[in-house]
Amino acid sequence: MTPRLDALKGKFVQLKQPIRDAVSDTAQVETTVKEIIANVRVRGDAAVREYSLAFDKAHVANFEVTEEEKLKAVADLDPQTREDTEFAIANVRRFAEAQLGTILPLEIESLPGLHLGHRVIPIETIGCYVPGGRYPLLSAPVMTIVPARVAGCDQVIACLPPNAHPAMIAGCHLAGADRIFRVGGAQAIAAMAYGTETIPAVDKIVGPGNAFVNEAKRQVFGQVGIDQLAGPSEIFVVADETANASMIAMDLLAQAEHDVRTRVGVVTTNRKLAEDILSEVENQLENLPTAPVAGVAWKDYGEITVVEDEEAMIAYSDHIATEHLQVHTRDPQATAKKLRNYGSIFIGELASVVYSDKCCGTNHTLPTMGAGRYTGGLWVGSYVKIATHQWLDERGVAAVAPAAVRQSATEKLEGHRRAAALRLSPKQLAAE
């Protein structure tokens, strides 16, 4: 039992427990991914081509999608699908622009003659991994590519599995990708990290993927930046007796249909609500077309926990630190202010995770596996660097150099002492 749960001892009971652990229940892929990265690093396109054939059953003659293919993919989009995609792009762009407006350059004179500041610098080249999934996930390229464009990155490339739906190519193009490549899996991450004859090396890789993609991002971190390590999707709901059991059950199953390893759960202060949600989930699974996926996720990773009061509910939720957190309480705004560990929070029963997943404007690339304890999700700030600078005139040197000289001498770093003293006048130096 963790320290957070230990503090809740005796204050909660689980009406339904998960039978598997979504955090530790992962495929042993480290060795395979290490081989893939090493091979792509040495053999470039040839290795990528071999892995595409082996893993995706696709022989790819030309990795890069041509301009003609991009335009055809857009032209072939159903008109309503294109309109909805552009609606999502506009909303994500609008929110990213507002976020960027809060990230300001800084200039201060902290002491007379000592000028400090920082610049907001777009990362030069971004690599966006766009997952294929069981279905065409049209929102995926929007979430990774649009903020990069808003941030002002020089080049944005996208990699997606070679068998991805053509609509995904259209989504990448409409979102603003400069170049699109038909490469998926760990080999795509390796190619973007180190570059091949065809695929350029990037400075940072963003976007979710399967266990192989996640492990590859972990292994190339340092060579390139990454956004985060994202596991299977998660949703938890905090609820009191005022919540709607049917609505909560539907929201849980909506997220569960992403993957058989989706973690779904409820923590509530009301046992009757918990029992009603359990019954509703089972009933709704009977006529849900995606039940073969959602039902497995619910059986293996579903959880319903009843706690004795709101304080315990808040503590339990903060222990879970879920990716998506929905708040269904009498005063959801007040409850939300008490919560601190989550990827993104959905306040009130009208705020469904599905809206953010698709098109409302907030980013759906979020921390999982408890990472909400220490980080937020992908946002426009993920695509810029805050780089500091300083400059001094003679007054500034007079203010900071003597302390630097003394500290360097104390540390027995003679080179440091001399460099610090070099800019002092002979009179100032004599005083030291």
| Predicted pLDDT of residue 16 | 85
CB atoms within 10 A of CB 351: 18
Statement to judge: residues 260 and 297 lie in one domain: yes
Domain with 208, as residue range(s), is 30-105+121-227
Pairing of strands 114-122, 344-347: unpaired
| Predicted pLDDT of residue 136 | 75
Residue 19 forms part of a structural domain: no
- Cα separation of 64 and 74, whole Å? 16
Statement to judge: residues 197 and 49 lie in one domain: yes
Statement to judge: residues 77 and 214 lie in one domain: yes
Question: Tokens at residue 371, please?
Answer: 């990472």
Residue 17 forms part of a structural domain: no
Using DSSP's 3-state secondary structure scheme, residue 124 falls into coil
Statement to judge: residues 100 and 76 lie in one domain: yes
- Cα separation of 200 and 175, whole Å? 20
| Predicted pLDDT of residue 10 | 73
* CATH code where residue 303 lies: 3.40.50.1980
153 close to 145: Cβ distance less than 8 angstroms? no
Residue 247 forms part of a structural domain: yes
Strand partners, 118: 106, 388
Residue 24 forms part of a structural domain: no
Tens digit of each residue's pLDDT, the chain (432 residues): 455 666 677 778 888 888 877 555 555 789 999 999 999 999 999 999 999 999 999 999 899 999 999 999 999 999 999 999 999 999 999 999 999 999 999 999 999 999 999 999 999 999 999 997 666 788 999 999 999 999 999 999 999 999 999 999 999 999 999 999 999 999 999 999 999 999 999 999 999 988 899 999 999 999 999 999 888 899 999 999 999 999 999 999 999 999 899 999 999 999 999 999 999 999 999 999 999 999 999 999 999 999 999 999 999 999 999 999 999 999 999 999 999 999 999 999 999 999 999 999 999 999 999 999 999 999 999 999 999 999 999 999 999 999 999 999 999 999 999 999 999 977 666 666
Statement to judge: residues 60 and 72 lie in one domain: yes
In what side-by-side order are the strands of the sheet with 179-182? Answer: 179-182, 155-160, 125-129, 204-206, 225-226
How many domains would you assign to the chain? 3
Statement to judge: residues 298 and 215 lie in one domain: no
- Which residues are part of the catalytic machinery? 323-324
- Cα separation of 197 and 41, whole Å? 11
Using DSSP's 3-state secondary structure scheme, residue 34 falls into helix
Residue 213: C-alpha distances to residues 160, 229, 255, 338, 391 (Å): 11, 9, 21, 35, 43
Statement to judge: residues 361 and 240 lie in one domain: yes
| Predicted pLDDT of residue 13 | 86
| Predicted pLDDT of residue 196 | 98
